Structure 1
Amino acid sequence: MGSATTQALAASTDALAAASGLDLGSAAELFAASRAIGESAQLSGALADPAAPAAARAALVSAVFAGVSTPVRTLLTTVSAQRWSSASDLIDGIEELAIRTAAKAASGDDVAGELFGFSRVVAANPELELALGSRLGDASAKGALVEKVLDGAASPAAVLIASSLVRNPRERRVRQVLGRAIDIVAAQSGRTVATVYTAAALTAQQQTRLRDVLARRYGGEISINQVIDATVVGGLRVQIADDVIDGSISARLADLRQKLAS
C-alpha cells in the first residue's frame, strides 16, 4: 500500500467514523458503488486521477451515484477527494468502508467469527470454492449461492459481506477476500485476529491464556480463530497478519531434520 493510499484510507475511515445515518443498507450501497467503479476503467480512472480537481471528482460522484442515500454519497465524495496511489486502491478503500459499515451496523454479532466459519466451509469444499472463484460464473449467481449456504447460519451483516465480495473478486481468491474482510471487521471493533492452527481444539482456559499472552505481545484485544490441522502434530502455530509463531512439534522436527542435514 502506497503512502498516498495509507493517508487516503485513514481520512476516509475517519469520515466513516464521523458519519451518521449509516446502516446495513448503506453498506450494501457502498458495496454496489465499489462494484460499479471496479467494472468501469473510465470511472475508476477519473475518480482516482490526482490531476483532476476535487470539485470535478465530487461532481462526478453526484452524477453517477445520484440514486444512493445522502450519507453514502457524502462518504463517496470524501473518498474521491483523497489522493490514492492507484484506481485499484480507491476501489479497495470503498470496499473496506462497506465492510466497516456492515460491521458497525451489527456490533452485537460475531461477524468476524461467522466469516471465518464460512471461510473454513469454503476451504473444506473444493467444489464450492471452485463455483465461487470461477471467472466464468455469473456474479449474481455466486452471491445467491453464498446467501443460500449461509441462510440461517450467519447474521445479515456477514451474509452481505460474503455475498458482496464473491460478486466482485477482482482476480482475488475467495479465501483471500474473506481473510481480508475478517481483519477489517476485527479492526473496526478494535481487535486483532490471531489464527491458531492446532491438532486438537483448545479449551476455554487455554484460549484465555493464549489470548492474554498475545495481547501483551501485540497490544489491544485479540480474537482467536481456530483451525484444526492434524499436520501440526502438537503445540500451536499462530498467525497474526504476516507474523507466524510456530511452536508445533512438526516445526521442531523439521528444524531438527534441517540441522542434521547441514
Structure 2
Amino acid sequence: MGSASREALVEAQGVLNSLATKLTAEAGEQLLLVARSLNENSALRSVIGDPVADDEAKITVVNRLFSDLLSEPALTLLQTVASSRWSSPEDVVGGLEDLGIRVFAVTAPAGLSIDEEILAINVAVSSNSELELALGSTLSISDAKVALANRLLSGKASSATLSIVTHLVSMPRGRRIGELLTGAAKIVAEQMGFALATVRAAQSLDAARSERLQKSLSRSYGGPVKINLIIDPTIIGGLHIQIGDDVIDASVSSRLSELRRQLVG
C-alpha cells in the first residue's frame, strides 16, 4: 500500500475500534462481501477509490448501493473508507479485507484464538502439496476452492475462521495461499494486541526455549509477541525470525552461505 492508503487504513481502524461494542460477526461477513464485490467490479472500485472525487458523491453511491444490505456499523466503516484518500482503487479492496478480518477478531468469543486456527490451517496446507495447489492455484475456479475449504474445515474450525479462509481462497489477488493465511493471522493478532513472530527452526522448540524466545522478543518489541513456529529442516540449525518487516536471521544455513560468499570473494 502507498502512504495515503496506509493513513486511510489507520483512520478506518480507529473508527472500527470506536464501534467495537456495536460490532457483530455479521459486519465482518458484510465487509468481506463488499471487498469481493469491488474486486469483481472495476468501475465501482474506481468510483469509491477515486482520490480526487468528492467525498459526498462517493458516500451517496455507497448509501444507494449498500445501505439496505449492511448493518449500521458495517455501513459506517464503508462510508469511512469511501470518504478517505487511497493511493489506488485496488488498495480500497485490501483495506476492506483488513477491516473485515479485524471485525471477526473483535467479535470472537472469549477463548477463541482465530489467529492460531488460521496458522494451524496454514501448516496443514503447506505440508500437503496437492491441497496447497488445489486451494492456491490461480487456475482453479473460486467456487470450487470455497467448496473445498468448506468441506475441509466445517466442524473443525470456528465459523469466523471459516469465513476468513473461504474469503481468502476466493479472492487471492495474486497472493500465494501461505501468504494469505499468514497475513490474515497477523491482522488478527495485531487487532488483539499481539505482534506475530514467524520463527523458522530445523526442529521443534521445547517449552522452555519457546518461552524464553517469546519473552525476549516481547521485551525487544515492547509488547506481547506470539510465536508462529515453522519447522524448516533446510535452515540446518539456529533460528530465522520475522516480525513485520524485521528479519533476524541466526540460522546455520545463513551463516554457511555468508562463509561461502567470503571464501569465493
Task: Calculate the TM-score normalised by the size of structure 1.
Answer: 0.94
Q: CA deviation at 1:15?
A: 0.8
Write out aligned runs for 1:26-105 (5 A). Answer: 26-65=27-66, 66-105=68-107
**Structure 1 outlier segments of 4+, above 4 Å:** none
Question: What CA deviation, in whole Å up to 9, does each residue of 1:118-176 have, x standing for no partner?
Answer: 11222122222222223343322212211222223322211111111111112222222
Gap regions ≥5 residues in structure 1 = none
Which of 142, 147, 151 aligns to 2:150? It is 147
Displacement after TM superposition at 1:261 (Å): 2.3
The equivalent residue for 2:178 is 175
Displacement of 1:216: 1.8
- Paired residue secondary structure (2:199): strand
Counterpart pick for 1:196 among 181, 194, 199: 199
The 2-side partners of 1:16 and 1:223 are apart by 23
- Cα shift at 1:181: 0.8
Counterparts of 1:7 and 1:85, CA distance in 2: 10
CA distance in 2, matches of 1:200, 1:171: 31
- Higher mean C-alpha deviation, range 45-54 or range 134-143: 134-143
Where 2:22 maps in the other structure, the secondary structure is: coil
Question: Counterparts of 2:249 and 2:155 in 1: how far apart (Å)?
Answer: 36
Q: Report how far residue 191 of structure 1 moved.
A: 0.8
Change (3 A) 1:41 1:252: same
In the alignment, is residue 160 of structure 1 matched against residue 166 of structure 2?
no
With over 3 angstroms needed to count, the CA separation of the structure-2 counterparts of 1:143 and 1:235, relative to structure 1, is: same
* Deviates most, 131-140 or 22-31: 131-140
* Structure 2: runs of 5+ lacking an equivalent: none
> 1:144 and 1:251, CA in 2 relative to 1: closer, same or farther beyond 3 A?
same
| Percentage of identical aligned residues | 41
Code of the aligned partner of 2:113: D
Which whole-Å CA distance do the structure 2 matches of 1:220 and 1:47 have between them?
36
* Structure 1 residue 202 displacement after superposition: 0.9
Once the two structures are superposed, residues 58-110 of structure 1 have per-residue CA deviations (whole angstroms, 9 ceiling, x without a partner) of 11111111222222112111110101110011111000000000111115311
1:250 CA displacement: 2.4
Task: Report the Cα distance in structure 1 between the residues aligned to 2:182 and 2:98, rounded to whole angstroms.
Answer: 12
Q: Which residue of 2 aligns with 1:232?
A: 235
Shift of 1:22: 1.5
Distance 1:173 1:162 in 2: 13
Structure 2: how far apart are the matches of 1:108 and 1:133?
Answer: 30
Is 1:109–2:109 an aligned residue pair? no
Q: How many residues of Structure 1 are paired with residues of Structure 2 in the alignment? A: 262
- CA distance in 1 between counterparts of 2:156 and 2:243 reads 26
Given that 1:105 and 1:157 are in contact with CA atoms closer than 8 Å, whether structure 2 keeps it comes out as no
Quick one: distance in 1 between partners of 2:119 and 2:221?
21
1:191-246 per-position Cα deviation (integer Å, ceiling 9, x unaligned): 11111111221111111100111112222110001111112222211121232212
Matched, 1:185 2:188: yes
Distance apart, 1:258 and its partner CA: 2.3
RMSD over aligned CA atoms reads: 1.5
- CA–CA distance in 2 between the matches of 1:225 and 1:7? 28
Which letter does structure 2 place at the counterpart of 1:158? T
Q: After the TM superposition, which of the residue ranges 137-146 and 216-225 deviates more from structure 2? A: 137-146
| Aligned equivalent of 2:140 | 137
Task: State the secondary structure of the residue aligned to 1:244.
Answer: strand
